[in-house]
Structure 1
């Protein structure tokens, strides 16, 4: 883990975090989202997809993120990520 932690730290310091998306935001997903957002420097959770978008938004909200954007196309998702916005979709 030291190698991974060091690589993530370097990405964070360079302002180039690894951007990840997550499918599913049930109990486990919300915990993973919280961990990535609040405890993993160098990694950024940019999008959550869930059948119920309210649950995707809940995952962000529970991690302290309130400004999320609903997207329903690849173009909207790419625009949200490029604008440093958090995206949710079904």
Structure 2
């Protein structure tokens, strides 16, 4: 379980929401297209993992103001660690 900081996954997941993570889903095949928690270059992220036609991996945000992060497949093993698949989120009730 982690608390999200930031708005890159807004409106799906918001700043302050809590995520539950399946730690048994840590392979590329198990996570493509889903929201994952990962470490990239020693920084923790919550992103959607997309494959590309060149074999590179693309990390995308649900917030359109964030640029996707492209990682060449040959760099994936040394730069990325998938912690798991986010399968539930929740947060406090927000004021209108």
Task: Report the structure, 1 or 2, having the larger strand content.
Answer: 2
TM-score range (shorter-chain normalised) is: under 0.3
Q: Identify which of structures 1 and 2 has the higher relative contact order when contacts are C-alpha pairs closer than 8 Å and 6+ apart.
A: 2
Task: Report the structure, 1 or 2, having the larger helix content.
Answer: 1
Output the TM-score relative to the length of structure 2.
0.27
